[in-house]
């Protein structure tokens, strides 16, 4: 089998058709950006605005990464907004004791994780529906936030904390033709890694005697992804460089893409969400997997709370209001199934960017929150309708 290369015979259109469901959310994001580019005269694609879209949505995107795991396992988490507020307030208090940034960061993650353990215990081992446990958690942690903050904002002792959200990664004096040098360097490295990774995977598949697509499709893929990377990084380079929070978001995303695709835990999450009874009889400890998933969500809430406190430059008692809804909507726009077992990290991130791009575009057009809600609602409904409709059509039930 290992000699000779098996190439799948398929045309470009056929391939596009096959992957329409996967591609649709990227197309949607692209279309939304283009529509607003026309409506705002291109303002939404300026370096400053692209940077802002990432910074303003970073904490939601981080939450969406955890939320999609919870949704894949067939549950929901309504408490994330309150937990963000609570852990954000605690991180501000810790930082104000004079503690350094790194210990503050680690402690917030631990606190998020402990909150996750608390909720996960009721969900996984006491078998109380996640909807109810996290509804209680939403009230509980909002209440606790009010108690520990005395319902007054906590300002931070200095500007160090703020850097997590609004700071940038730069090397002093390193610039190319007025553009930030580090951004361009990272851009080149990312593109090279992309090329290497695609070719490496292809070689491995051929080596194992698996069927591969024709080489030109790999080229198309590299060109498309490189164009996207170049677009984003040149925007960063032309403004203030790569925002620190984008690095944080990238690390979280990469870690969980890897976990969902390549680890036993990730596959167990999909298995339990796909059919918990089958998974148990297959020898998977479904309770433990559910527990871990909700603990991960807690840790991610801790991180998001930290980022949000940094973004606001103070911890607000009412922080995180409706974050859970934005995070959940991101997952569903990104193709997750409410019945569990289906969903991807990249999908959730894309879904979050769709919501962010709409918010941002409408704000640039001076359209108020009232209409933003209406448009977001329509997009959510339409996106999920398309998902269910196309799934039915392609026999995925």
Partner 1 sequence: MSEQYILEVNNLTKDFPGVRALDNVDFKVRRGEIHCLVGENGAGKSTLMNVVSGVYPKGSYEGHVVFKGKETHYRSTKDSELDGLAIIHQELTLSPYLSIYENLFLGHMETRFGIINWDKCLKDSYPLLKRVGLNEKPQTIVSKMSVGKQQLVEIARAISQKAELLIFDEPTSSLNDDESQKLLDLMREFRKEGITCVMISHKLDEVLSVADSITILRDGQSIVSFDLRERRVTEQEIIKEMVGRELKNLFPQKEPDIGEVVFEVKDWNVYHPDYHTMKIIDNASFHVKKGEIVSFCGPMGAGRTEMMMSIFGNSYGYGATGEIFLKGEKVSFRNPKDAIEKGVGYVSEDRKSLGLILIQDVKTNITNSSLRRLAKHGIIDKDLELRKAEQYKETLQIKTPSLQQLVRNLSGGNQQKVVLSRCLLADPDIFIVDEPTRGIDVGAKFEIYSILNDMVKEGKSVIVVSSELAEAISMSDRIYVMNEGKIKGVLNRDEATQERIMHMALID
Burial of 26 (0-12, 13-18, 19+ CB in 10 A): middle
22's enclosing H/E stretch is helix 20-39
- As a whole number of angstroms, the distance between CA 96 and CA 339 comes to 43
198's enclosing H/E stretch is helix 181-207
| Nearest distance in Å: CB 210, partner 1 | 7
Q: Is there binding between residue 374 and partner 1 (CB under 8 A)?
A: no
Q: Which of 211, 228, 231, 255 is the binder for partner 1 (CB under 8 A)?
A: 211
Which two structure tokens, joined as six digits, stand for 284?
Answer: 């998977």
> Is the separation of the CB atoms in 379 and 354 below 8 Å?
yes
- As a whole number of angstroms, the distance between CA 23 and CA 346 comes to 11
Q: Is there binding between residue 280 and partner 1 (CB under 8 A)?
A: yes
Q: Which of 24, 166, 234, 285 is the binder for partner 1 (CB under 8 A)?
A: 285
Q: Which stretch binds partner 1 (CB under 8 A): 78-86, 93-101, 190-198, 268-276?
A: 268-276
Q: Is 29 helix (H, G, I), strand (E, B) or coil?
A: helix
Q: Is there binding between residue 210 and partner 1 (CB under 8 A)?
A: yes
Q: Which of 64, 68, 271, 346 is the binder for partner 1 (CB under 8 A)?
A: 271
Q: Which stretch binds partner 1 (CB under 8 A): 108-116, 128-136, 283-291, 363-371?
A: 283-291
Give 218 or 287: the residue with its C-beta nearer to partner 1: 287
- As a whole number of angstroms, the distance between CA 275 and CA 264 comes to 16
| Nearest distance in Å: CB 262, partner 1 | 6
Q: Which of 136, 265, 367, 388 is the binder for partner 1 (CB under 8 A)?
A: 265
Q: Which of 281, 365, 369, 381 is the binder for partner 1 (CB under 8 A)?
A: 281
- Of residues 338 through 367, those in contact with partner 1 by CB under 8 A are 341-342
Q: Which stretch binds partner 1 (CB under 8 A): 36-44, 170-178, 257-265, 291-299?
A: 257-265
| Nearest distance in Å: CB 168, partner 1 | 33
> Is the separation of the CB atoms in 39 and 361 below 8 Å?
yes
Q: Which of 36, 59, 270, 308 is the binder for partner 1 (CB under 8 A)?
A: 270
Give 223 or 255: the residue with its C-beta nearer to partner 1: 255
> Is the separation of the CB atoms in 229 and 194 below 8 Å?
yes
Q: Which long-range contacts (CB under 8 A, 24 or more apart) does 120-123 make?
A: 120/290, 120/291, 120/292, 120/293, 120/294, 120/295, 120/298, 121/291, 123/75, 123/290, 123/291, 123/294
- As a whole number of angstroms, the distance between CA 299 and CA 295 comes to 6
166's enclosing H/E stretch is helix 163-166
| Nearest distance in Å: CB 383, partner 1 | 20
Q: Is there binding between residue 283 and partner 1 (CB under 8 A)?
A: yes
> Is the separation of the CB atoms in 64 and 123 below 8 Å?
no
Q: What angle do CA 381, 387, 392 make, to 5 degrees?
A: 125
Q: Is there binding between residue 275 and partner 1 (CB under 8 A)?
A: yes
Q: Is there binding between residue 204 and partner 1 (CB under 8 A)?
A: yes
Q: Taking Cα atoms as reference points, which of 349, 340, 381, 390 lies closest to residue 53?
A: 349
- As a whole number of angstroms, the distance between CA 112 and CA 390 comes to 37
Q: Which of 9, 150, 208, 366 is the binder for partner 1 (CB under 8 A)?
A: 208
| Nearest distance in Å: CB 15, partner 1 | 14
Q: Which of 20, 43, 267, 390 is the binder for partner 1 (CB under 8 A)?
A: 267
Residues near partner 1, by CB under 8 A: 204, 208, 210-211, 262-265, 267-268, 270-271, 274-275, 277-285, 341-342, 395-397
């Amino acid at each position: 089998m290992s000699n000779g290369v098996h190439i799948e015979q398929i045309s470009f259109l056929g391939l596009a058709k096959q992957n329409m469901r996967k591609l649709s959310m990227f197309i949607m994001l692209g279309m939304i950006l283009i529509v607003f580019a026309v409506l705002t005269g291109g303002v939404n694609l300026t370096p400053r605005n692209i940077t802002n879209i990432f910074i303003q949505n970073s904490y939601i995107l981080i939450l969406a990464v955890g939320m999609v795991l919870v949704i894949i396992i067939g549950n929901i988490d309504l408490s994330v907004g309150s937990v963000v507020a609570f852990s954000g307030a605690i991180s501000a208090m810790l930082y104000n004791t004079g503690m350094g940034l790194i210990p503050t960061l680690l402690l917030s993650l631990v606190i998020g994780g402990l909150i996750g353990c608390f909720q996960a215990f009721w969900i996984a081992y006491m078998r109380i529906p996640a909807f109810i446990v996290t509804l209680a958690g939403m009230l509980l942690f909002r209440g606790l936030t009010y108690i520990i903050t005395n319902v007054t904002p906590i300002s931070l002792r200095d500007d160090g904390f703020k850097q997590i959200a609004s700071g940038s990664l730069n090397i002093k004096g390193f610039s190319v033709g007025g553009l930030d040098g580090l951004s361009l360097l990272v851009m080149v490295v990312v593109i090279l890694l992309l090329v290497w990774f695609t070719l490496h995977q292809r070689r491995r598949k051929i080596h194992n005697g698996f069927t591969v697509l024709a080489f030109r499709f790999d080229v198309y893929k590299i060109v498309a992804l490189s164009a996207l990377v170049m677009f984003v990084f040149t925007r960063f380079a032309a403004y203030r460089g790569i925002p620190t929070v984008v690095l944080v978001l990238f690390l979280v995303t990469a870690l969980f893409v890897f976990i969902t695709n390549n680890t036993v835990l990730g596959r167990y999450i999909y298995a339990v969400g796909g059919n918990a009874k089958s998974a148990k009889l297959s020898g998977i400890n479904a309770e433990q997997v559910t527990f871990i998933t909700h603990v991960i969500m807690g840790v991610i809430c801790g991180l998001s709370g930290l980022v949000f406190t940094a973004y606001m430059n103070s911890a607000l008692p009412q922080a995180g209001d409706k974050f859970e809804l934005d995070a959940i909507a991101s997952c569903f726009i990104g193709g997750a199934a409410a019945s569990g077992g289906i969903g991807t990290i990249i999908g959730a991130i894309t879904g979050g960017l769709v919501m962010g791009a709409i918010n941002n575009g409408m704000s640039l057009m001076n359209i108020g929150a009232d209409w933003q809600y209406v448009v977001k609602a329509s997009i959510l409904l339409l996106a999920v309708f398309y998902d269910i409709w196309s799934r039915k059509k392609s026999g995925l039930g």
